[in-house]
């Protein structure tokens, strides 16, 4: 029976699916290296959330056939190391876009209406002691969505429901799809940034996008605009974002992902004003968590059956040649 190693608990329905399909399942709660090193030699598949999988882990798992990411991104997994060994890498691109999009809108609204500050005023007894900060309606503003994948598309659709004018920038040529969604294509990012009251990031983590929100990017934004990131922490130069918040260049930022997680106490965003921080939970709605677990389990089973789904395989080059 194929053995599946699950790094941290996932939805029990996915465990039940694997076991009903003839797999043995081992769930690791402790991901320290001694525990991992003892378990990895048994693994023919790994289902992983955010724990890094690199050369060391791959070398310790000689029977490994597939690593299934419990999520849409894969920047914590060494794709090259897997590919060299002929191990497939899968993701769950269809599972959590609704959850991410709703959380994105939540962060926009929290920034636009100064939610943390107003909550603090009530609980600290300062309700009538000072004039409240006046918020804005996002329906009267322009939103720039950067990245028009599933989450970006869903954010644009929800925002348009508020009446928001939506610009979309995507590295791929997607103008027909953008226009069909009732949005405005913005092929020139630098021309679009000064128009946007809110910028929302929905890009993958790649060398091309690493640190894209840097001093030049922030200087090009409209003064007093807001920034939202539910994509990947590596997209931001966090020091530059914190400095822009302190200077008032940014009116607010809603951030769910960070370059180092958990957020260390030295991160400059922790002391920045007008920022709303959440602990990488945008994709963590109850429905999305079950969907991601089930889709990851289904990807593993498809590999064991010899029928991997190209739509969820990252290193698709392995599908056209024999695997090691």
CA-closest candidate to residue 137, choices 104, 162, 117: 162
Catalytic residue among 232, 238, 295, 298, which? 232
Query: pLDDT per position in the chain (324 positions), as tens?
Result: 899 999 999 999 999 999 999 999 999 999 999 999 999 999 999 999 989 999 999 999 999 999 999 998 898 999 999 999 999 999 999 899 999 999 999 999 999 999 999 999 999 998 988 888 889 999 999 999 999 999 999 999 999 999 999 999 998 878 999 999 999 999 999 999 999 999 999 998 889 999 999 999 999 999 999 999 999 999 999 999 999 999 999 999 999 999 999 999 999 999 999 999 999 999 989 999 999 999 999 999 999 999 999 999 999 999 975 544
- The pLDDT score that the predictor gives to residue 318 is 96
Catalytic residue among 137, 261, 287, 316, which? 261
According to CATH, the topology of domain 3-95+286-320 is Rossmann fold (3.40.50)
Residue ranges, CATH 3.40.50.720, the chain: 3-95+286-320, 97-277
| Cα separation, 227 vs 29, whole angstroms | 35
Length of the chain equals: 324
Provide φ and ψ at 24, rounded to 5°: -95, 140
Q: Structure tokens of 99?
A: 């959850």
321 is catalytic: no
Q: Which residues of 198-214 are buried (b: 16+ CB within 10 A; e: fewer)?
A: bbbbbbbbeeebeebbe
55 is catalytic: no
Task: Give CA 279 to chain center in angstroms.
Answer: 11
CA-closest candidate to residue 36, choices 275, 65, 27: 27
Distances (CA, A) of 245 to 186, 203, 260, 284: 25, 22, 20, 27
- The pLDDT score that the predictor gives to residue 323 is 47
261 is catalytic: yes
Provide φ and ψ at 77, rounded to 5°: -115, 135
Catalytic residue among 3, 56, 113, 280, which? 280
- The pLDDT score that the predictor gives to residue 174 is 87
DSSP state of 5: E
Q: Which CATH class is domain 97-277?
A: alpha beta
């Amino acid at each position: 029976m194929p053995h599946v190693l699950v790094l941290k608990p996932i939805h029990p329905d996915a465990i039940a699916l694997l076991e009903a399909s003839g797999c043995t399942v081992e769930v690791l709660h402790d991901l320290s290296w001694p525990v991992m090193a003892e378990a990895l030699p048994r693994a023919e598949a790994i289902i992983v959330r955010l724990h890094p999988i690199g050369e060391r882990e791959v070398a310790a798992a000689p029977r490994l056939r597939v690593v299934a990411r419990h999520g849409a991104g894969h920047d914590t997994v060494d794709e090259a190391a897997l590919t060299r060994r002929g191990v497939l890498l899968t993701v769950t691109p269809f599972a959590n876009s609704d959850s991410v999009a709703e959380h994105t809108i939540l962060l926009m609204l929290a920034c636009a209406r100064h939610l943390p500050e107003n909550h603090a005023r009530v609980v600290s007894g300062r309700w009538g002691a000072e004039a409240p900060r006046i918020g804005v309606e996002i329906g009267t503003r322009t939103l720039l969505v950067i990245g028009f994948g599933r989450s970006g598309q869903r954010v644009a659709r929800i925002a348009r429901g508020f009446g928001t004018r939506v610009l979309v920038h995507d590295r791929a040529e997607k103008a027909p799809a953008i226009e069909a969604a009732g949005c405005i294509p913005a092929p020139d990012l630098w021309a679009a940034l000064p128009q946007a009251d809110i910028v929302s990031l929905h890009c993958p983590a790649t060398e091309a996008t690493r640190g894209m929100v840097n001093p030049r990017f922030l200087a090009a934004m409209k003064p007093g605009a807001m920034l939202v990131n539910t994509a990947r922490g590596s997209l931001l130069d966090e020091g530059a974002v914190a400095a822009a918040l302190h200077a008032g260049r940014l009116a607010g930022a809603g951030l769910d992902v960070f370059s180092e997680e958990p957020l260390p106490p030295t991160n400059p965003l922790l002391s920045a004003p007008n920022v709303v921080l959440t602990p990488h939970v945008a994709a963590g709605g109850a429905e999305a968590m079950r969907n991601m677990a089930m889709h990851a389990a289904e990807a593993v089973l498809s590999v064991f059956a010899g029928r991997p789904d190209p739509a969820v395989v990252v290193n698709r080059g392995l599908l056209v040649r024999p695997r090691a």
